[in-house]
A and B are shown apart, each in its own frame.
Chain A
Amino acid sequence: MPKLKILLLTLISSLILLSSLFFGQNTINPFDLRGAEKDILFSIRLPRVIVAFLMGSALGVSGAVLQGMLRNPLADPYILGISSGAALAAAFGLVTGSYLFGQLSIPFSAFFGASVVSVLVGAFGWKKGRLLPERLLLAGVGLSFLFYALLMLLISMSSYEGVRRTMLWIFGDLSLADWSLIPYGLVFIIAGMYISVCRSKALNALMLGDDLAHSLGFSAHRERLLFFISVALMTSASVSLGGTIGFIGLLVPHIVRFIIGADNRIVIPVCAVSGGAFLCGADLIGRSIAPPMEIPSGIITAVIGSPYFLYLLRKRDVLGT
C-alpha cells in the first residue's frame, strides 16, 4: 500500500530530524532547558538542522528532477557543473579571506559562482531555441573540468590554512549555519521546489520521451527549461548554504523510487522529505563520531553513498537493464 509506505517514510524522516536536534555530542533534554543548553539548542542546533534539512531536500528533489529530465538514472545535481563554480568562488573567498558581505561573504560568493556556471551551462546547452539534454550534460561536464582546474590552481597558490579551510568547505560545512543565512536559502529553495512540484506531471511525461510528452500535451522544450531553472535555483542555494555535499541527489531518488514507484507527483515531495532527513542524519553522525571534532557531512554521505551506489549498479546489472 503506497500510502502506508509514504507515511512510514515521513515518520522515519521526522524521527531522524528530531534526533539530530536533541542528540549529538551531548544529549539535550527538551524538557529541561537551562542556560547553556537553551543557547545551544536555539543558536546552534536548530539553525544547523534547518539548514541541513533545506540542503538535503533541495538536493534530493534536484536529483529526482534531473534524472527524469535527462532520462539518465546517474544524473546528479552536480553533473551540471554547478558545484564546481560554487567551489571555486567559495575557495577564492576562503583563501583570500574576503569579507565584502560580512558574515554572508562565503555563501554569497558560492551562490554567485553557482549562478555563473548555471547560466554558462544553460547557454552552451541551448540550441535553436531549446535546451538539449546531451548538450547540457556535455557542457556541465566540460565546465566542471575547467572550474576544478582553476580551483586546483588556486589551491596550489595558497597557504596551508587557506587550503584546509577550502577543503573543509568543499566536503560540506554545516557549522556555518546561521539564522541570518536561512531566509535566503529558503527563498530560492522553495521557489525551485514549487516549480518542480507544479510541473511533476510534465516530468512524468518527459520521462517517456520528447515526442510522447508532446503527444500528451506538454511542450517538452519549455518544461525542460523550467526544470533546469528550478534545479539551478535549488542547487545553487544548497551549495551556498553548506558546501558541496554529494550523493544525496544521486541516491535519494533511487531509494525513493525503489520504495514508492516512479510517479514524480509523489516522488518529488518524498525526495524532499527523505533527502532532508538523510542529510540531517549524516550530519548527526559526523558530529558524534569523534567529538568535539566535526567530520564534514559530505564525507559521511560519501561513505554511506558509494557502497550503496555500487550495489545499485550491480542490481541493475542483474535485472538486465
Chain B
Amino acid sequence: MNIPGLHFLYLLVVIFLMLPASLACTEPPKRIISLAPNLTEILYAAGLGEKVVGVTAFCDKPEEAKKNPKVGGMSNPSLESIVSLNPDIVVLTTDGNLREFEERLRSLMIRTYVFKARRISELPGGIRDMGSALGEKEKANYLAREIEAGIRKFSVSLQHPVKKKVLFIIWPEPLIVAGPGTAIDEAITLLGHENIASHSVVSYPKYSIEAVIRQSPDVIFIGKGHIQIKEMSGGLLKKIASVPAVKNKKIFFLGDDLYRMGPGIVKGIGEMSACLN
C-alpha cells in the first residue's frame, strides 16, 4: 500500500468536487444587464456602471446609462438582444418585470437576480442583498448606508410638525393619485403627514374629484410627468379651488424621483420635506 499515493488521490477527489462550487461562488459577474430603470440607477450610483452592458429603453438615468445597448421594455424585453450581449447576470425587479421572463432566462442558463425591495424601508437591505449577489458587497454597503443616512435625516423631524393632509397627483386629467403601497405614500408618512388617498383599494387609483374637495388637503404635490403639466393641471385646480391647498397656494410640482425605488428616493423625500415645512 502506497500511503502517500492514497492521500494524493484523496486530495484530487476533494479538489475535483470543490472546483464547480468554487467557480460558481467566487466569480463576480463582469457583464450585467439591468431590466429596470431603478436598478440601473442603483448600479451606477454604487459605482458599478462599468459593468453594465445592457439596459431597457426606459433607463434614462444617469446620462451615461443611456449609452448602453437597449434590450427593449420592462415587460417585453428582447430575449435575443439579451442573449447576444452575453451577460453574466441579469437583474430584474418584482415590480414591472415579468416572472415568466425571469424563468425563461434561467431556463436558458442565464444567471438572474430578482430585486425584491418595494418599500423605502426595504431599499437599503435590497441594495445590500443585490451587492452580495454581484460580488460587490462593499460598494453596495456604501450606497445603502448613504441612503439610510438620508432617510434618517428626514424622519428625525417627526416630533414637531403639525400633521398635514397631503395629496400627490400623478396625473390631473383623468385624476390619478398615489395611494397605499407606493413609495410616495411611504414618504408622506415618513415625514409625519397624512396621505388622504391612503385608504384606496389600489396603489394608483383613479380618484374622485368630489372626494378631494371633501377631504380638503392642505398640500398638493403634482408629479412632473409632462412638460406642460402646469397648464394641464389648471382645469383640475380650478375645480378644486375651494380646498386649503389651492387657497393657500400650497401646490408644488415635484420631479419624478419618488417614482423609482432607487438612490433618487432620498432626493425626492428631501424635496417633499422642503415643501412641507
Question: Which A residues fall within an 8 A CB radius of B?
Answer: 24-26, 35-36, 39-40, 43-45, 97, 99, 102-103, 106, 156, 159-161, 164-165, 168-169, 173, 175-176, 178, 287, 290-294, 296
> What is the minimal beta-carbon distance from A184 to any residue of chain B, in angstroms?
15
Given known A97-B225, A103-B235, A161-B170, contact A294–B214 (CB-CB < 8 A) = no
Are A292 and B174 in contact, with the CB atoms below 8 A? Answer: no
User: Which of chain A's residues have a CB closer than 8 A to the CB of B232?
Assistant: 97, 99, 103
Residue of A with least CB distance to B207: A292
**In the complex the two chains form, is B210's CB within 8 Å of A40's CB?**
yes
Can you give 10 A-B contacts (C-beta < 8 A)? A97-B225, A97-B226, A103-B235, A160-B74, A168-B206, A169-B174, A175-B206, A178-B235, A291-B211, A292-B212
- Do the beta carbons of B208 and A290 come within 8 Å of each other? no
* Contact residues in A for B174 (Cβ distance below 8 Å): 165, 168-169, 173, 175-176
**Contact: A176 with B173, CB < 8 Å?**
yes
Q: How far is the CA of A88 from the CA of B207 in the complex (A)?
A: 24
User: Is B44 part of the binding interface, using a Cβ–Cβ cutoff of 8 Å?
Assistant: no
Interface residues of B, Cβ cutoff 8 Å to A: 58, 74-76, 96, 170-171, 173-176, 197, 200-202, 204-214, 216, 225-226, 228, 231-232, 234-235, 238-239, 241-242
B residues in contact with A293, CB < 8 Å: 200-202, 205-208
Min CB distance B122 to A, Å, is 21
Give the residues in chain A near B242, CB-CB below 8 Å: 35-36, 39
Q: For B173, what are the chain A residues with a Cβ–Cβ distance below 8 Å?
A: 103, 106, 175-176
Q: How many A-B residue pairs have CB under 8 A?
A: 90
Judging by beta carbons under 8 Å apart, are A44 and B210 in contact?
yes
Contact yes or no, A175 B214, CB < 8 A: no
The answer to whether B213 and A292 touch across the interface, beta carbons within 8 angstroms, is: no
Q: Are B176 and A99 in touch, CB under 8 angstroms?
A: no
Chain B's interface: helix, strand, loop or mixed, by majority?
loop
Assess the A26–B226 pair: CB atoms within 8 A: no
A36 cross-chain contacts in B, Cβ below 8 A: 213-214, 216, 242
CA distance A148 to B18 in the complex (A): 58
Q: Which residues of B contact A296 (CB under 8 A)?
A: 206
Assess whether A25 is in contact with B210, with CB atoms less than 8 Å apart. yes
Min CB–CB distance B222 → chain A (angstroms): 14
Are A26 and B214 in contact, CB atoms less than 8 angstroms apart? Answer: yes
| Separation of A69 and B208 alpha carbons in the complex (Å) | 40
Given contacts A39-B242, A99-B228, A292-B200, whether A175 and B209 have CB atoms under 8 Å apart is yes
A-B contacts besides A25-B208, A36-B242, A161-B171, 19 pairs, CB < 8 Å: A25-B211, A26-B214, A39-B213, A44-B210, A45-B210, A99-B228, A102-B231, A160-B74, A160-B75, A161-B170, A161-B225, A175-B174, A291-B211, A292-B197, A292-B200, A292-B211, A293-B200, A294-B208, A296-B206
Residues on A with beta carbons closer than 8 Å to the beta carbon of B175: 175
Instruction: Specify which of B173, B197, B242 lies most central, judged by the most chain A CB atoms within 10 Å of its CB.
Output: B173
Contacts of B214 in A (CB 8 A): 26, 36, 40
Closest partner residue, chain B, to A296 (CB atom): B206
* Cα–Cα, bound, A25→B197 (Å): 15
How distant is the Cα of A296 from the Cα of B208 in the complex, in angstroms?
11
Alpha-carbon separation in the docked complex, A299 to B131 (Å)? 46
**How far apart are A98's CB and chain B's nearest CB, in angstroms?**
9
